[in-house]
Amino acid sequence: MSNNAFVEPLSFSLIENGLAGEKTQFLFRTWRDNEGIIAQDSQMTRLSQYLLMTLPSAEPGDVPPLTFAGKHSTFRRFFPHALEPETPRPPTSFLPSVYRQGVADAYQIVMNGEPWFDIQRTGNRLGDGIPDMTLQRLLVKFRTSAGFTRIFCLMTLLEVHSRSYQSDRTHHQPSSQQKSDWHPAYQARVQPSSMHGNVPG
């Protein structure tokens, strides 16, 4: 793992103890309890509005190709133009390379079957017009009984630290998000050496 100052691993115990939000807890427990097998589920269908899904492979130092972005996902909120049908570029190419390289290592871990949970302080790494944010990310790999595989990404916006963002470049978005200084997962950050060794089971 490279040492990325803006990405900090978090303990899975935060999820288990309900300190990372209901959506994150549901996704993690579904992955764990079903041993990574995805099945039709009404709750998962509702959660899909907030999910990103990617292929289970990527070039070294990059994120996997995006195959699905839920209508309430953070990616669709901040990069709506990347998902327009006429856009000739892959959606993930709209993420600056400095950000993609910084978050890419986690995907390699998830491709090998382990989950990943972290917190990010983006700074200016997402490019012009995108605010400095604190994000919480859970990655898990699901497969169908027929062997169809995708990586699920649930990104939760904890705090917007600046107001420079314009969703459609004409209308300002308010920064009325949860304040990360009281969010339990933000408070309970721990050292990377104590995480990801054991997944609660």
Amino acid identity of residue 177, one-letter, is: Q
pLDDT above 90 covers what percent of the chain?
71
pLDDT value of position 182: 36
Pair 161, 179: CB distance under 8 Å: no
pLDDT reported for residue 41: 86
pLDDT in tens, 95-106: 999 999 999 999
Domain locations along the chain: 7-162
pLDDT band for 64, please (50, 70, 90 cuts).
very high
Structure tokens at 147: 């062997």
pTM above 0.85, yes or no: no
Q: Pairing mode, if any, of strands 116-121 and 66-69?
A: unpaired
Give me the chain's average pLDDT, please. Answer: 83
DSSP 3-state assignment of 68?
A: strand
pLDDT in tens, 121-180: 999 999 999 999 999 999 999 998 888 999 999 999 999 997 654 443 333 444 334 444
168 φ, ψ (degrees, to nearest 5): -120, 20
Average pLDDT rounded to a whole number, residues 107-131: 95
Is the pLDDT score of 57 beyond 70? yes
Residue 125, token pair as written in the block = 């790494």
| Residue listed under structure tokens 């420079």 | 164
The per-residue b/e assignment along 6-29, b for 16 or more CB within 10 angstroms, e otherwise, is bbebbbbbbbeeebbbebbbbbbe
With respect to CATH, is domain 7-162 assigned 1.20.1260? no
Cα distances (angstroms) measured from residue 38 to each of 22, 78, 96, 149, 175: 19, 28, 31, 9, 34
Taking residues 74-96, report their average pLDDT: 94
